[in-house]
Chains A and B, each alone.
Chain A
Amino acid sequence: MKTCLVVDDSKVIRKVARHILETLDFTVSEACDGREALDACLASPPDVILLDWNMPVMSGMDFLRALREAPIPTRPKVVFCTTENGMAYIRAAIEAGADEYVMKPFDRDTLESKLQIVGMA
C-alpha cells in the first residue's frame, strides 16, 4: 500500500484528506506543521506528501526546500494543497520542487486526478 503524509494545521482538512486518501488505498499519516513533517520524513519518508502552505512553526515552502535538501534515500512526491491560488504562488511552488498543485477547496475527483498525474493513484 502507498503511504501519504498529510501536512496541514487544520484538523478538519486533515480529516477530510485522510478519508479521501484511505478510500484510494493509501496508508495515511498526519503532521500539523512543516517541522513535524520534516521529522516524519527523516524517520520514514512517505511516497507522497499533501502539503499546505501557511502553517505555524514551519511553512509549507520552508518544509519543501528543507525536504529537497534532506539526506533521505527516496524522493517523495509533493502535492501542494492550498488556498494560495495565484499563478505566482503556483510557479514558486513548482520551482521549489513541488510535483503538483491542488487549489483548495478540493474534492475527491481533484485529489484523485492529481495523484494519478504524479503516478500515485
Chain B
Amino acid sequence: MTMPASGTVSPVALNVFSALLEARTGQQIASYRSWRIDVALKPLLRERGLDTLDQLVTLLLDGQDVRVGDQIVNALVNQETSFFRDAPVFDLVLEAVAGAEAAGRRPRIWCAGCSTGQEPLSLAMLFAERAEGGRPMPEIIATDVSEAAVARARAGRYNQFEIQRGLPIRRMMRWFDSEGGDWVARPELTRLVTVRRHNLVADHPPGGAFDVILCRNVLLYLSPTTKAAVFARFAAAMRPGGTLVLGAGETVIGQTDAFAPSRRLRGLYERTGDRPAPSHAAAA
C-alpha cells in the first residue's frame, strides 16, 4: 500500500483542490505547501459535518451547493496581512501621489488583493491625518477575490490580535471603537475606502486610471504567464507615470516589460511606456 503524498490529503483531493484554487484565483499550491491543505480545510469539514477531505471533494463535485467551492477557495487562499505592513512603504506611497497633487488632481489608489482590509485602512488613516493639513484625500479602491475577505474589509472589524499587529496605539484610539472585545473602524474611516470583489486573473480592472496600484503579497503563487498578464492589466489601468507597489520579496524583473524599478522611489516600480526611449546616439 502506498501512503498519500501529503499527510491526510489523498492525491485525488490534492488534485481537485489545486485545480479549483488555480481556476478561481490563479494561485498554485506548490506541492511543498500541500500539508497546509488539511489544516486549512479542517474548520470547513467540521462546519459541514464531514470526516474526510475526500467527502468534501464528493460534495464539491456533486455541485448541489455552489457555496462549497467559494468556501474551499476562501479557506485555502493565504490571507495573511497586518496594519502598516512593511511600514516604510507607506511613506513612499505618499511620495508617489505627489505628481497627481501637484497637477491639482485627486489621486487614485487601487489596493489589489486587500485581504481583510488592514492595508487600505492603513492608507486611509495616513492620508486622512495628512488631509487635515489641507492636502486632498485620494480615492482608495480596495479589491479581493475572496467574498469573505471583502465582507471583513467592509466591516473593518478586528479581534484583539489583529488590531495590535502593526497599528500604533494612538491611531487605534483615534480611528477605532471597542465593541464586544473587537475593535471596529469608525465610519469616518471606512467611508474613505471603497471595497469590492474583484478577481485579478479574470475581471476587468476597476474603471478609471490609477496613480498608484498596490498589489502586495498576492502574485507570489501565480504562474509566470498569469503574472505577466496581470502586470499588463495593471499597466493599462494606470496613468502615465503611475507607480506599482509589490510586496517586500517581490519584483517585476524578469516577469514583465510593462514595469521597471523606479529611479525616484526605491523598491517601487514605474510603468515603462512613459519613459523616453533610450538614445542610441548617447550610448554609442
| Known contacts A85-B160, A103-B164, A113-B165; A94 and B170 CB within 8 A of each other | yes
B170-194 vs A, CB cutoff 8 Å, 1 = contact: the mask equals 1011000110000000000000000
B-contacting 9-mer, from A6-14, A17-25, A104-112: A104-112
Query: Which residues, 74 to 117 on A, are CB-close (under 8 Å) to B?
Result: 85-87, 90-91, 94, 100-103, 106-107, 109-110, 113-114, 116-117
Query: Which residues, 186 to 229 on B, are CB-close (under 8 Å) to A?
Result: none
Compute how far the CA of A110 lies from the CA of B172 in the bound complex, rounded to whole angstroms. Answer: 14
Contact A113–B169 (Cβ < 8 Å): no
Compute how far the CA of A86 lies from the CA of B181 in the bound complex, rounded to whole angstroms. Answer: 9
Contact A90–B169 (Cβ < 8 Å): yes
| Known contacts A85-B178, A86-B178, A87-B178; A94 and B164 CB within 8 A of each other | no
Query: Which residues, 66 to 89 on B, are CB-close (under 8 Å) to A?
Result: 82, 87
Contact A94–B173 (Cβ < 8 Å): yes
B137-167 vs A, CB cutoff 8 Å, 1 = contact: the mask equals 0000000000000000000000011001110
User: Which applies to chain A's interface (DSSP): helix, strand, loop or mixed?
Assistant: helix
B168 at interface by CB-CB < 8 Å: yes
Chain B residues whose C-beta falls within 8 Å of the C-beta of A113 in the assembled complex: 82, 164-166
CB nearest neighbor in A for B87: A116
Chain B residues whose C-beta falls within 8 Å of the C-beta of A90 in the assembled complex: 169, 172-173
Please give the number of chain B residues whose Cβ is less than 8 angstroms from any Cβ of chain A in the complex.
14
Contact A100–B161 (Cβ < 8 Å): no
CB nearest neighbor in A for B176: A87
Contact B178–A107 (Cβ < 8 Å): no
Contact A114–B164 (Cβ < 8 Å): yes
Query: Which residues, 18 to 40 on A, are CB-close (under 8 Å) to B?
Result: none
Compute how far the CA of A84 lies from the CA of B186 in the bound complex, rounded to whole angstroms. Answer: 22
Contact A110–B173 (Cβ < 8 Å): no
Contact A110–B178 (Cβ < 8 Å): no
Contact B168–A117 (Cβ < 8 Å): yes
Compute how far the CA of A107 lies from the CA of B165 in the bound complex, rounded to whole angstroms. Answer: 10
CB nearest neighbor in A for B160: A103
B86-100 vs A, CB cutoff 8 Å, 1 = contact: the mask equals 010000000000000
List 20 additional contacts besides A94-B170, A94-B173; criterion CB under 8 Å: A87-B177, A90-B169, A90-B172, A91-B173, A94-B169, A100-B168, A100-B169, A101-B169, A102-B164, A103-B164, A107-B161, A110-B165, A113-B82, A113-B164, A113-B165, A113-B166, A114-B164, A116-B87, A117-B168, A117-B169
Between A and B, 12 residue pairs with Cβ closer than 8 Å are: A85-B178, A86-B178, A90-B169, A94-B170, A94-B173, A100-B168, A101-B169, A109-B165, A110-B161, A110-B164, A117-B166, A117-B168
